[in-house]
Amino acid sequence: MQTDTKNTLTTLAGVPQLHEPRNPGMDLDLDRVMAVQVNTSAVERRCASLPGRRSVKKDHQAAWMLRAISMIDLTTLSGDDTEGRVRRLCAKARQPVSKTMLADLGMNGLTTGAVCVYHDMIETAVAALDGTGIPVAAVSTGFPAGLSPFHLRVAEIEESVKAGAQEIDIVISRRHVLTQNWQALYDEMRAFRTACGDAHVKAILATGELGSLRNVARASMICMMAGADFIKTSTGKESVNATLPVSLVMIRAIRDYCEWTGFRVGYKPAGGISKAKDAVTYLALIKEELGDRWLRPDLFRFGASSLLGDIERQLEHHLTGRYSAANRHAIG
């Protein structure tokens, strides 16, 4: 690879560590919430046109894929998780692409954005990632349904923070959205934010179960008003997870909130994003709607497990012109 190509990759794919002031939240403003409307047909038209209009090739495509790796929350959330599986996942987070491939691409020091596990696996993940700077995220609050008693959901957050989780992915009570009980949703999210302390909180909306894009937009706004550091589409366990229309609605809510308050809130699409080309499309949407500042792991994450394997295959094709078998790039 020529030097100018390496410079292109390094410039586009480099991910300097930046840290925003945390979103402190604000008082619930129901007038602002109820003023939120969504033109569904316009949203769908905008998203349908994006993949064809924003296609990057060759070195630029490789750079976007490397950037995507740096923003993956590498995840294992299975009932048969073991400490050995989590340690292997953490090893993959530390070295997501082979050193040889990274050298050929002019890169070094690339890691994933975080590792996401259940509470029982936090201590294993923290030990495996010691000294790397890669945060451990834990799902909480009765994940994925969020239907356990409220005091237990709060206690689960506190226990996960005590165990070493630096990020907490909470699930909201969908019934508050479906019944338009915005005060209850705000109070719940505020309590979760308080329980997290210094750990950053990602609010999972489970958008496939909220009924409409307008509900998604209003729930996004409520969670940000209550102090969410990130808003996230899905648990990955619903029948419909991350989609481009849902993402457009949520990131426009983030943009509006930033214009009102001056605080930037992160975004995390999760569930169903398994192909490199889809990841690049999501990044293009973020760039167009929110700008380059959101293309950093402190403000954007992919919730994924199989995405990394496909990105590796695409990078190898970029370097060699050949596709390898998927099982050569196991992530765990």
Give the residue numbers annotated as catalytic, written as ranges.
Answer: 169, 232, 268
Angular region, 3: left φ>0, alpha ψ -120 to 50, beta rest? alpha
| Whole-angstrom distance, CA of residue 21 vs CA of residue 311 | 31
Closest CA to 167 of 212, 127, 220, 126: 126
| Whole-angstrom distance, CA of residue 312 vs CA of residue 294 | 23
Task: List C-alpha distances in Å: 162 to 141, 157, 228.
Answer: 15, 9, 20
The residues, any chain, with a CB within 8 Å of residue 110's CB and separated by 6 or more, are: 13, 66, 69, 70, 96, 97, 102
Closest CA to 304 of 266, 264, 276: 276
Q: Which residue is listed with tokens 């975004």?
A: 267
Burial of 16 (0-12, 13-18, 19+ CB in 10 A): exposed
Contact of 114 with 301, CB cutoff 8 Å = yes
C-alpha dihedral over 306, 308, 309, 313, to 10 degrees?
A: 140
Residue 314's identity, in one-letter code, is Q
| Whole-angstrom distance, CA of residue 198 vs CA of residue 242 | 27
Contact of 173 with 146, CB cutoff 8 Å = yes
Q: Running DSSP on this structure, what letter comes out for residue 270?
A: B
CA-atom Rg of the chain in angstroms = 19
Q: How many CA atoms does the CB half-sphere of 78 hold within 13 Å?
A: 11
H or E, element range at 330: none
